[in-house]
Amino acid sequence: MGFVRAMTVPSTAAAVAARFGFTMPLPATGWAAGRAIGADPMPAHVYPATGEPIGAVQICDAAAVDEAVGAARVAFASGAWSRRSVQERIGVLRACAARLRNAGEELAALQMLETGIPFSQAMTGHIPRMAENFEIFADIAATQAGRTFQQVPGYVTHTLRAPVGVAAIFAPWNAPLVLSSMKLAAALAVGCTAVIKPSEYTPFSVLRMVQILEEAGLAPGVVNVVNGPGAITGRALSEHEDVAAIGFIGGTETGKTIMRAAAGRLAKVGLELGGKSANIITASADLEAAVDGSLLAIYTSAGQQCLAGSRIFLERAIAAPFLDRFQARARAIRLGCPLDPSTEMGPIAHPAHLARILDFVAAARAQGAQILAGGERVHAMGPGLWLEPILALAPSNDLTICQEEIFGPFATVQVVETLDEAIARANDSRFGLVGYVWAQDIAAIMRVTDQLETGTVWVNTPLVRDLRAPFGGWKQSGLGRDGREGCIDLFTEEKAVMTPIGPVRMRKLGAP
């Protein structure tokens, strides 16, 4: 049975630009102190749905990075943001959220052109979440308080928090607006200034977002953008002496490189890295809900998300009926124009990544996995980066497809005999970002949530976040946490102040 596809012919990039008022090619410069910066261009980026060139990144070399960090440092030292009252910062953050919501269609269209993420999914998910990042961290700023200790006789000790200075924020290509704004909102809420480095694959939406933040009231220089590849721009930013804290979201190996660069000057680092998340379907699961949730967990955003439920573990009692339903639904996923509201899965984001996913298909076959669905590029839809949703039955957890993060619409299934076996295989991974469990048996739920080696566990639901709660990974999935406490720890330094409550009797050294 073939895959069902939305039959709408993908709109051209030029047509999208005309509809939303963009000028082609799209600008992809850096941005420092309210003006464009950049040097030699990279090869043109293409619209993943059609393969058309849409614009080229202007590389920010070490000198341009120094200019951007310098602008952030001057803005911080001036107190234009860092010493504004909390109430004033809260007001600006809320104005930023409102302005971003109003510009939602423009930003969703830009992100669609650079990533292929369907417009309707951006409007219902990415745009609201981007705005909520600023709203929630405005709330956090409003309620942030120090601590008081009175255990030492005659003294009161209280704590203060101070912004660290310039924060460097590295954002990945899979959800540039959501993920860049999340750490940025946290840094701004506590008074830091920032330099953002988006992925070289997704420079357009982040640049426009920062311009909108300035339109909403942020002074030029408070937030700056540097564009370019990691080997040039990323390295210069992570090694810069005036960067006090680094928030990185992306691949594990790149995260290790950034951590080594920061270690030389003991800069603070928060890393949200890769995942190979286990999705455990127990014998007591609500089968319909488990199928619905498992499809969303792996095929949302074409599987290009670190928290994708890419390893499905099925207790044998429900394996056959689950697989029958899951395969049929996976084959019916509608691929099509990212502007078509009926489209359920867009293209792969860029050519090199499509080639990488197809390499994993070849490895799966070579290692004895059975491809139950998908695995082929969709040439009938034109020159865009279209790929069928993939489902593979793995005979062992040792296969490459069960251990390496594929970051695509590629689900692996393993059938297990017991819940203990499912938990053991789930934990047999160098990653530990999130996990899923589907069960009606409360004892099974409690065992999985207690024993799963992950930073987050979703019970009978996929892909829900409370931005106030900690989010991050175990093992090679990261270091530190997003959320209220984790972000405050990353972007501030804590100071203890001891004050006597009466006269202090001191020894008089050297007195007669």
Q: Which residues are catalytic?
A: 272, 306
The three-class DSSP label of residue 101 is: helix
- Strand residue runs (E) in 53-123: 53-55
Query: Is residue 447 a contact partner of residue 402, using CB atoms and an 8 Å limit?
Result: no
Query: Is residue 103 a contact partner of residue 212, using CB atoms and an 8 Å limit?
Result: yes
Amino acid letter, residue 511? A
Residue whose structure tokens are 């680094």: 246
- Residue from 512, 309, 333 nearest 426 by CA: 309
Contacts of 111 (CB under 8 A, 6+ apart): 117, 122, 126, 176, 177, 202, 204, 205
The CA distance from 106 to 22, in Å, is 9
CA 411, distance to chain mean position in Å, is 20
Query: What DSSP string describes 303-333?
Result: G-STT---EEEEEHHHHHHHHHHHHHHHHT-
Q: Phi first, then psi: what are they for 241, rounded to 5°?
A: -65, -25
Query: 346: which DSSP letter?
Result: -
Q: What is the CA radius of gyration of the chain?
A: 24
How far CA 274 is from CA of 128, 195, 255, 286, 473, in Å, comes to 24, 23, 9, 29, 8
Within 300-453, residue ranges assigned H as helices are 316-331, 351-366, 400-403, 419-427, 442-451
The CA distance from 180 to 15, in Å, is 27
The CA distance from 234 to 228, in Å, is 7
The CA distance from 350 to 301, in Å, is 13
Query: Is residue 4 a contact partner of residue 334, using CB atoms and an 8 Å limit?
Result: yes
